[in-house]
Structure 1
């Protein structure tokens, strides 16, 4: 976690700060190189442990075989392959600067390692394992410099892209253990002196920091190379931010990032409205509207986004979404990036898109809205059964666990009416009414749905047995249009559902309690949302 905290803070540090730490790493490498070249006695004693040099050697055959596997797994060919895979993955995901950063840091580290080896000219230890003998120069260790550089890159990208502290802690521990393992491998096989691996680690760390100073992996504004919007807005625009504080690790840091990006984009310093358990977003959005905000940014999960959107629907005030939940379904369907800085950038500099809202009434609930979906049956039972403590630790896996428990939710009899027509009777384990096409895990449950077509889509699922879910899943993923008793679809502007018994219900992933009725109507173009240009 310490490494992640350091690198997370470093991402926001000045170039001078980064260059200073990079210079310190390179300076220590230079001092080590000078000491090695001059045969400084304390260093020689440290490298030889004050004992026979054979003391470093390893005789156990099983351990030697394992160390050889480590040597190959982190050799030049393997590290080149890891770098290419990482860079390509970042490039495909749209993080091109991160891809160039990774490739550049690894390339420079490799070149510098080779040059320093030639300059220092240190021989390999006399106790080197005779099998697979290496004959080139020893200082600094190429294995150590490359694994330190790649590990640092991984931690930078994790700090940049991953919000969950548990995942970042896992990355910290994994990278640290791998670096230590590779360094021990080089010494125990007799390939390097301890100072060789220390010098290699410092060299790799120095280039990670130098890369951050010279070429930041943070993405640039999506609007940087796009023509300005036709409408010219006056300076001094009012900005409000509705924040669910439990969805961000450091509220102060988040506020600092938003404020600096907002001022840079020409907005006023934002006013902040934090949600509470008693008021999950409605009151905060209303206050922002009354204060005359020209843009309201909401940061939270689907529930917080739904509350804010419902309140601002019809006001003409655009909503910028910074997804910070587990599902983030509205953001995903609108193409809003999940990376916090990129989402803030879209909210501040994107274009407005009019999307539909769906009004909802039913027994035992107040009149409400949803932007993504409503459901009765299995999907609502799934949402209801999610362990919140577990969700905080493992994210979407908590939904998978709850889903496995709820798969055989009892089928119920439901009557459905579309656009005021006659009710039709069905058996269903779940009924989902969606305003978008893709639901959890990118599932194209409603492939014909569009968020701005003035229609809502209904899917009725009735797998008869546990194993019936498997072919049903294939049909959904294949976007098959065929309907039958297992999967049926309907489309209209107004949809009413009546269940024969009390059935769990949900709106945008939030349980609203059991009931027998839901009545929904699509309100076309009701809400303005900021989306990428």
Structure 2
């Protein structure tokens, strides 16, 4: 049984992604059977579909009376012809290849090439003439059945849906992507009928053919990333362990807990791990107690699935124990996972946790007024960045993910500058005016923004950036310099490094740790503990 993400199937493609190969083959056979029946009906002297196809004449007549609509239809025809679809396929394949999703890229190319070849061969073999009422501009004199535009649009829409189901984490966005793909396919199909280029039965036939090839592609080429265990030799073990696996799960971060447990269980058995011992976080305990219990019970690996907050609690508890932590990112930011190169596709992240290599990374101890001594893994901040975290609407965050941070950021852009005293190691403190001060253990924010490009999570140092855009428009050169990884420092952007950092604001200022607001205060004291934690990373 093949297993993977998404966790809540909806529709044929959603169901066949995790099913045995015979399931997509069966659905493909059904599509081809209906296609064969349609082919029989539209060829020779058999014409039971004449009434249906004559609807195409009425549609073309109606469209012909709306000149602006015809221009739009012709643009759609030109944009999604053979050349247009070849360009789209090439762009999609190159993008997937560059992102390291080679199997998905091969799947996309296979589906589109096979669809194009099958459509061409069937057109030549069946030889159905075009409708006599087609649009006079750009008359098509090639054969009509099945529609090439419809088959390629159906195939490409199927590819987009498969990619969305595999790699888009949020169910709302997956549904949106699926709806957009289906609407685009319907638009292309309607274009062929309203321009009179094809009979309606041609469009139905082309769509059935494209869908069949997508399903065949799922049976022949698994688009999901290949397992680390399947493509690498096992790593040598310093000591022989019982390979006891514990999983700390934030249950609200996965769509289907039962399905997630099944995936972890299947992949653990395939990789030689014991049956997982499960621990669920609660509102009262976001992971500390669960990680402690897993450690006491003798786990050889603790897998944590949740957002940055859950990951932080588990990592802090297991720091110094020698027990590696496997991170399955399921939050909004997932900054630690992104900076460690851990894939966001849940099945691949589980694979890395089970079969990756261990890496020693730094942990940062932090204290301050009004907070108990704690730790962070990614970043701490005072000012604008913390105001963003405070201003995020949780309901909006659940629906649209990290875009909620963008909306909050736009509202907080002119957060007032504060006077901050910064002490690095044993140096004399310096006074700055800043809208935000960020202390980072890693370098990159959402979308790969290199806020601290020289930061490394295993160098034993903290990187500090002080941002002070004096005017609203000053954010533009600031963003430009950050994206360009400029090393220039001045009043707009200043940078410091050290093992110990103390921030003291002259007024109560919003503060955050790893993207979680910890309330306003005037002080943060941070110390980097070098190589304190073992985490699983790709190899």
Which bin holds the TM-score, normalised by the shorter protein?
A: over 0.9
CA drift at 1:53? 5.2
Q: Do the aligned residues in 2 keep the contact of 1:149 with 1:208 (CA within 8 Å)?
A: yes
Task: Give the Cα separation in 2 of the matches to 1:486 and 1:130.
Answer: 62
Q: Match for residue 523 of structure 1? A: 529
Q: Match for residue 261 of structure 1? A: 267
2:382 to 376, 385, 393: 376
Q: Match for residue 319 of structure 1? A: 325
CA drift at 1:415? 1.7
Stretches of structure 1 that go unaligned for 5 or more consecutive residues are: none
Q: Match for residue 212 of structure 2? A: 206
Q: Match for residue 495 of structure 1? A: 501
CA drift at 1:211? 0.3
Q: Do the aligned residues in 2 keep the contact of 1:4 with 1:155 (CA within 8 Å)?
A: no
1:156-235 map, 5 Å: 156-231=162-237, 234=240
Q: Do the aligned residues in 2 keep the contact of 1:4 with 1:168 (CA within 8 Å)?
A: no
SS in 1 for 2:282: coil
Q: Match for residue 398 of structure 2? A: 392
- Which moves more between the two structures, 370-379 or 489-498? 489-498
1:439-458 map, 5 Å: 439-458=445-464
Q: Match for residue 403 of structure 1? A: 409
CA drift at 1:266? 0.9
Q: Match for residue 117 of structure 2? A: 111
Task: Give the Cα separation in 2 of the matches to 1:53 and 1:162.
Answer: 41
Task: Give the Cα separation in 2 of the matches to 1:9 and 1:320.
Answer: 28
Q: Do the aligned residues in 1 keep the contact of 2:304 with 2:327 (CA within 8 Å)?
A: yes
1:85 to 67, 83, 91: 91
Cα-to-partner distance string for 1:381-427 (whole Å, 9 max, x where unaligned): 11111111111222222111211222222222222222243322222
- Which moves more between the two structures, 494-503 or 354-363? 494-503
Q: Match for residue 59 of structure 1? A: 64
Q: Do the aligned residues in 1 keep the contact of 2:9 with 2:15 (CA within 8 Å)?
A: no
Q: Do the aligned residues in 1 keep the contact of 2:242 with 2:300 (CA within 8 Å)?
A: no
1:358 to 357, 360, 364: 364
Q: Match for residue 238 of structure 1? A: 244
Question: Residues 235, 450 of structure 1: CA spacing in aligned structure 2 closer, same or farther, 3 A cutoff?
Answer: closer
Task: Give the Cα separation in 1 of the matches to 2:155 and 2:236.
Answer: 45
1:247 aligns with 2:220: no
Q: Match for residue 461 of structure 1? A: 467
1:425-436 map, 5 Å: 425-436=431-442
Q: Do the aligned residues in 1 keep the contact of 2:164 with 2:178 (CA within 8 Å)?
A: no
Question: Residues 475, 66 of structure 1: CA spacing in aligned structure 2 closer, same or farther, 3 A cutoff?
Answer: closer
- Which moves more between the two structures, 55-64 or 383-392? 55-64
TM-score of the pair, normalised by structure 2: 0.94
- Which moves more between the two structures, 227-236 or 487-496? 227-236
Q: Do the aligned residues in 2 keep the contact of 1:236 with 1:266 (CA within 8 Å)?
A: no
Cα-to-partner distance string for 1:269-324 (whole Å, 9 max, x where unaligned): 21222222221111221222222211111111111111111111111110111112
Q: Match for residue 520 of structure 2? A: 514
- Which moves more between the two structures, 310-319 or 390-399? 390-399
CA drift at 1:54? 5.8
1:267-278 map, 5 Å: 267-278=273-284
Alpha carbon RMSD of aligned pairs, Å? Answer: 2.0
Question: Residues 62, 486 of structure 1: CA spacing in aligned structure 2 closer, same or farther, 3 A cutoff?
Answer: closer
SS in 1 for 2:312: helix
- Which moves more between the two structures, 472-481 or 267-276? 472-481
Q: Match for residue 302 of structure 2? A: 296
Question: Residues 27, 360 of structure 1: CA spacing in aligned structure 2 closer, same or farther, 3 A cutoff?
Answer: same
CA drift at 1:234? 4.8
Task: Give the Cα separation in 2 of the matches to 1:520 and 1:284.
Answer: 25
TM-score of the pair, normalised by structure 1: 0.95
Question: Residues 190, 268 of structure 1: CA spacing in aligned structure 2 closer, same or farther, 3 A cutoff?
Answer: same
Stretches of structure 2 that go unaligned for 5 or more consecutive residues are: 1-5
Q: Match for residue 290 of structure 2? A: 284
Cα-to-partner distance string for 1:345-398 (whole Å, 9 max, x where unaligned): 111100000001011111111110001111111111111111111112222221
Q: Do the aligned residues in 1 keep the contact of 2:245 with 2:299 (CA within 8 Å)?
A: yes
Cα-to-partner distance string for 1:91-130 (whole Å, 9 max, x where unaligned): 1111011111101111101111111112222111222223
Q: Do the aligned residues in 2 keep the contact of 1:300 with 1:322 (CA within 8 Å)?
A: yes
Task: Give the Cα separation in 2 of the matches to 1:353 and 1:483.
Answer: 32
Cα-to-partner distance string for 1:160-214 (whole Å, 9 max, x where unaligned): 0001122112112212212222222212222222211111111000000000001
Task: Give the Cα separation in 2 of the matches to 1:117 and 1:447.
Answer: 55
CA drift at 1:223? 4.4
Q: Match for residue 129 of structure 2? A: 123
CA drift at 1:236? 5.1
Report runs of 4+ in structure 1 exceeding 6 Å deviation. Answer: none
SS in 2 for 1:134: coil
Question: Residues 74, 415 of structure 1: CA spacing in aligned structure 2 closer, same or farther, 3 A cutoff?
Answer: same
